[in-house]
């Protein structure tokens, strides 16, 4: 949840940073750390909670969701940039991450 929250904040930092190249590069570097830090966390979570005989299938579904559903991002990005601005794009992307954060928090607190 903390990692998803960090991604929401960083996505919103792109809104003011999109006006200058140095600021955009700095925020892009800041995005890299939590974004690439999530992959080992998700892999460890899948390995811990999936039965050994279904682990490969669990990883397969995970990467299908990441790359299959994630491919819609290019279409959404293109539509937002066609009809909106760069700042609007980063707000829309932050909304998607905020929805993921809300879903993650719901799942965490539902289990307690």
User: What pLDDT digit, counting tens, does each position of 68-84 carry?
Assistant: 888 888 899 999 999 99
Neighbours of 17 (CB within 10 A): 20
Predicted pLDDT of residue 1: 66
The pLDDT mean for the chain works out to 86
Q: How far apart are CA 56 and CA 93, in angstroms?
A: 30
* Entry pTM: 0.67
Predicted pLDDT of residue 90: 86
Tokens matching residue 63:
């990467």
């Amino acid at each position: 949840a903390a990692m998803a929250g960090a991604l929401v904040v960083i996505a919103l930092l792109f809104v003011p940073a999109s006006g200058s190249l140095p600021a955009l590069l700095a925020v892009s570097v800041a995005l890299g750390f939590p974004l690439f830090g999530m992959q080992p966390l998700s892999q460890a979570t899948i390995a811990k909670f999936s039965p050994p005989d279904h682990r490969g299938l669990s990883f397969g579904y995970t990467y299908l969701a990441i790359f299959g559903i994630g491919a819609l991002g290019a279409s959404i990005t293109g539509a937002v940039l066609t009809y909106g601005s760069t700042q609007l794009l980063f707000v829309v992307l932050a909304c998607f991450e905020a929805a993921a954060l809300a879903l993650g928090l719901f799942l965490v607190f539902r289990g307690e």
